[in-house]
Structure 1
Amino acid sequence: MKLIIKKIFFTLPLLSLAIALFAQQPEQILKASGSPANPKVPMSWNRYNDYAAITEVCKKLAKAYPDLVKVESMGKSFMGKEMWVMTISDFKTGDPSKKPAMYIDGNIHSNEIQGSEFALYTAWYLAESFADTKHIQELLADKTFYIAPTINPDARDNFIHAANNANSPRSGMIPVDNDRDGSINEDGYDDLDGDGHIVFMRRKNPNGRFIADQDDPRRMISVGVDQQGEYELLGYEGIDNDGDGDVNEDGEGFYDPNRDWAWNWQPNYIQSGAYKYPFSLPENRSIADFVMKHPNIAAGQSYHNNGGMILRGPGALEDLDTYNAQDVQVYDALGNKGEELIPGYKYLVVYKDLYSVFGGELDWFYGGRGIYTFSNELWTNFLMYNKAGDSNSQATQYSFDRNLLFNDAFVNWKAFKHHQYGDIEIGGFKKSFGRLHPGFLLESDAHRNMSFTLYHAYHTPKLSVEEISEKDLGGGLKEVTAVIANKRLMPTHSSQDLKYKIEVPDMISLTGPKVIAGMIVNNRDLNITSEQKNDAENIRVPNIPGNSTVTVRWIIQNAGKYSVKVDSKKGGIASRSN
């Protein structure tokens, strides 16, 4: 036994050496433009990670880049999983909580799992590209990213590890009796053949309304009114456990986490999917608490699927007045850029271009917190052949699977003896296809969507004390004028923020000399000012508009060395001395 242990102990260093010899060395690689060549945390972005794998990646990034990444929990899910959020910034250039911040999350719905990969890719890319990409260095010097890869971890693991289909209920794991018969989840998904896929059931029936497509027999197509069918479709694979004629009507519980937010919330009889009351779900409550504790969050992004859309609110027509003209201009500039960065995606308004949503995350972030927020619906059929306007998307899916995925996305029809329906066949697309990216397209779309969020974050406020000038007034008094510039698109307070006074005003302070008076300069040419009679040293400015300036002035005594400092919750800190 001792001899065996010694051999193993002796062999381990040799094994490590062998791995190192066969690993790619920096001198063997030509760095592809825009991609990390030798990441400290190697990743393959052509697959989907479960909760344990996401946890591992978050912790590895924090360990590999302690000056850039910190990981913490926002709270616990219904089933007790930690809800990880990464703080990503250049910690050496200042307190991350004092920099303008971008919040990103994904996977609020159980079957919309690629949002986690897109969020995780962003965190990984920022950390791994920092060393040799100047733009990322400058971005993390100025900004902070809060990235929560999955905000529905219970349902994510259920979707990945349990038998499901692409359209499985979008909810979390809190039990719900959807048909109100007193039994909870009695008609869950039944994986009839145990292959891990919930696909469709069909049965031969001359009175059915479907036939097999001659060009691709896997595909079922409907017949005309004067044609005879061959099959009837029986819905998704399963059993009518309660004998009411419906299969799978009580899945893992149906509530919609994106109908639980405290802005224009409506009960379930008005907004289907709403739970008990706003923030009744523990996951959403944890996110809200995190956002409230981080007033530096100026921009937001959530990831859903599918349809290739860059969405902004309002979610409902009743909330149209919330999004006023000034803020819509900011949204339009960002959204139109998103269309350029992500081919095949369209910039749309939820209520106008889709349907009404009450109690959505998108509207709470903007309406409740004044944060410019988008929700991207990931994946579009455009990406299959880089063509728009395909009138037969179902046929495109079949040809794409056949030509580029080599039939890997489809479970071929096979006979099965169903104890209720008799002789049937089961088959169809797997849960990983239809709403989710195929592996080879996952990283490409993740990178493009990330580029949109980096552009959004770049245009959060960037403040500087652009000018300090003095004028001698005589009698030992001087007039000090400071010009504060915001060099980005986004103001320090959105119009919604100003309307409801969500965040405190920006503070512009003069320290050093004795301050006799302080004022905002409304018109420098005409010398029109508004005096702040109390606390003259610290001038409170309601807003510093995007791509604009604000001018303030003090009358001081005993001038010497002094400093002007700007402190803005969403705009960060800037200072300058004379």
Structure 2
Amino acid sequence: MKKRLSACALLLIGWLGTGENNVQAQTPEQVFNAAGPPQNPKVPISWNRYYDYAGITEICAKLAKAYPDLVKLETIGDSYQGKRIWALTISDFNTGDPFRKPAMYLDGNVISNELQGSEFALYTAWYLVENFQDNAFIRELLQQKTFYILPTINPDARDNIMHRINSANATRAGMIPLDDDSDGLVDEDQPDDLNKDGHITFMRRKSAKGRYVVDPQNPLRLIPAKAGQSGEYELLGYEGLDADGDGRMNEDPPGYYDPSRDWAWNWQPDYIQHGALKYPFSVPENRAVKDFVLRHPNIAGAQSYHSNGGMGLESLDAVEEGNTENQGHNQVNDLLKRYAEQVIPGYTYQLVYKDLDSAFGGKLNWLHHARGIFTFSNELMSPYLQVDRQKTKDPEQEAGPVDVNYMPPFQDAYVEWVPFEHPTYGNIEIGGFKKNFPQAHPGDLLQEDAHRNMVFTLYQAYQLPQLEIREVLTRKLSNGLTEITATVANTRILPTHSGQDLKHKIERPDYISLKDSTVVAGMVLHNPDQQPGREQKLNLARLEIPNIPGLGFIKVRWVVLANKPNLVVEVDSRKGGVVRRAF
């Protein structure tokens, strides 16, 4: 056996070659490239891990340096602790002003322990620029559209959960110190790591009144006892102490507020919506994002990444569903979410008010209702990614839901339960899962799910309005007048104004202009044969159009006092871009 091993080793050494640098990477001729992510990116990034604020900053800077014609990096404001909030503008800068193109907004990590939103947003930025040269679809997309990508809008809390001792369910908050229970104390120290193992895990004790038993598939995990089954353990929450003797453990964490309840649509104070702060946009990070969105009225679509649950959320009020103004909006949302459910297996799309508990002051609602943006919020991690939801025990029976108890345990996700003498609870045990599980994706699933969610984001961006001036027809009239009729089409499914936009008159109308100074009449034709149409009384050369529908068109007409008019037509839409054509 020893001789055989030596022979194999010698053969391997001979194949690799000799010398100091004998191990060579495979040559391009030896590689069969997989479709999708680039094989030799300018900015190599490992997508099986999570990056802290410094890591995110470094990735953003490297992308901007490697692709100056595609990426602009800017700061939109500072966090409470003074960290810069980064925004990436991604577009083909050589094909027009990014501000005048229809734009897709993308952000992540508004909540501290929902980390993967940052990696998903960064993956989208990276994939776009690295594939621009060789992927015709992406090249066309960045020529026509702009992406605004904010990887983390809660950088203080992101670093807090990564670098300090925390539990998997650390506070959702940012870092503004608050007296959570009005006892005059604010604990700005790290939570109590009672057994000094570097992790905040759970406390449990044996009890006849316990409702939990040990998971037979994973002895480090507790699961609820089944009906009729006696429980063995009482779960006491995360490990910690009652610092001020009021009977509460681990209270007054730094910044106990919810940045997802700080937005100025249907905002409610804390006694109604727990987690709200003083007033809408009282959180500095959210104010910076709000100001950025207001400065970019070309944002027509948005995606905000959260975790977890495997859900895509959208926002429509129950009273609005029957409104004719929202019919087109709802149809567009239905088309988008049907596509998303195809490319993101296991995800279901739900209305916030209808399928989930009501929440007030959310960013999803603000973007949709206050800004008229077609907005989704994907709740990311779900058991579907680890086990098939449909599991059939008997081939003749219909498939049923999988018991998530069968999820395979991850070696590095749990710590052993160890005894501890607690000053309040007495003899207990400390252990269970760590903060890298279960909200955060395991490394092997991170890139796959980031890619699938990115595909949906790119599809939504592709379907932002795309305007074309199809034709301009002229007809001679008497007395030196000429009639000019122009057709403007929108070749994608999103209209230039959403139902909410039309209802609340959020954005200005679209303009269709004839660049001729001799216009004496201008009108919008509601159908091609209508005479004379809806005439505009003022500013005759620049016609105001309330909306250019998705996969639809608008016809306009001018009468000019000229035998040879200037046949230059321009369409200027906040969310549909600017198109100019001479005939």
Whether the 8 Å CA contact 1:186–1:242 is kept in 2: the answer is no
Cα drift, residue 40 of structure 1: 0.5
2:11 maps to which residue?
none
**Counterpart Cα distance in 2 of 1:533 and 1:20:** 81
1:396 maps to which residue?
406
Distance 1:230 1:34, change over 3 A: closer
1:447 maps to which residue?
451
Distance 1:100 1:252, change over 3 A: same
Cα drift, residue 28 of structure 1: 4.8
Cα drift, residue 206 of structure 1: 5.6
Q: Pick which of 436-445 and 235-244 moved more.
A: 235-244
Whether the 8 Å CA contact 2:421–2:427 is kept in 1: the answer is yes
1:176 maps to which residue?
178
Distance 1:526 1:19, change over 3 A: farther
Q: TM-score, normalization: structure 2?
A: 0.90
**Counterpart Cα distance in 2 of 1:258 and 1:196:** 29
Q: TM-score, normalization: structure 1?
A: 0.91
Structure 1 unaligned residues grouped into runs of 5+: 1-17
Indicate the RMSD between aligned Cα atoms, in angstroms.
2.2
Distance 1:232 1:263, change over 3 A: closer
516, 523, 527: which one aligns with 2:531:
527
Question: For 1:498-551, what per-residue CA distance to the aligned partner results, in whole angstroms no more than 9, with x for missing partners?
Answer: 122111111111114622211111222233411112211111111111100000
1:14 maps to which residue?
none
Superposition pairs of residues 28-107 of structure 1, within 5 angstroms: 28-107=30-109
Question: For 1:358-413, what per-residue CA distance to the aligned partner results, in whole angstroms no more than 9, with x for missing partners?
Answer: 111011111111111000000110111232464532x134xx12xxx3x2211121
Cα drift, residue 32 of structure 1: 1.1
2:571 maps to which residue?
566
Q: Would you say 1:518 and 2:483 are equivalent positions?
A: no
Distance 1:392 1:241, change over 3 A: farther
Distance 1:221 1:103, change over 3 A: closer
Whether the 8 Å CA contact 1:520–1:529 is kept in 2: the answer is yes
Q: Would you say 1:543 and 2:547 are equivalent positions?
A: yes
Q: Would you say 1:464 and 2:468 are equivalent positions?
A: yes
Q: Would you say 1:254 and 2:256 are equivalent positions?
A: yes
Q: Would you say 1:344 and 2:355 are equivalent positions?
A: no
Distance 1:213 1:295, change over 3 A: closer
Structure 2 unaligned residues grouped into runs of 5+: 1-19, 391-399
SS of 2:556's equivalent? strand
SS of 1:274's equivalent? coil
Distance 1:321 1:514, change over 3 A: same
The number of aligned residues is: 553
1:286 maps to which residue?
288
Cα drift, residue 106 of structure 1: 0.5
Work out the percentage of aligned pairs sharing the same amino acid. Answer: 57
**Counterpart Cα distance in 1 of 2:359 and 2:546:** 31
Cα drift, residue 196 of structure 1: 2.8
Cα drift, residue 237 of structure 1: 1.2
Cα drift, residue 252 of structure 1: 2.5
1:376 maps to which residue?
378
**Counterpart Cα distance in 1 of 2:58 and 2:85:** 13
Superposition pairs of residues 160-559 of structure 1, within 5 angstroms: 160-185=162-187, 189-205=191-207, 208-223=210-225, 230-314=232-316, 324-388=326-390, 390=401, 392-393=403-404, 395-397=405-407, 400-401=408-409, 405=410, 407-512=411-516, 514-556=518-560, 557-559=562-564
Distance 1:251 1:23, change over 3 A: farther
Whether the 8 Å CA contact 1:107–1:156 is kept in 2: the answer is yes
Question: For 1:186-237, what per-residue CA distance to the aligned partner results, in whole angstroms no more than 9, with x for missing partners?
Answer: 7862112333321111234466454434453323345579766544332211
Whether the 8 Å CA contact 1:308–1:346 is kept in 2: the answer is yes
Whether the 8 Å CA contact 2:191–2:250 is kept in 1: the answer is yes
Distance 1:24 1:250, change over 3 A: farther
**Counterpart Cα distance in 2 of 1:227 and 1:484:** 68
**Quick one: which amino acid aligns to residue 406 of structure 2?**
T
**Counterpart Cα distance in 2 of 1:47 and 1:283:** 25
Distance 1:209 1:294, change over 3 A: closer
SS of 2:446's equivalent? helix
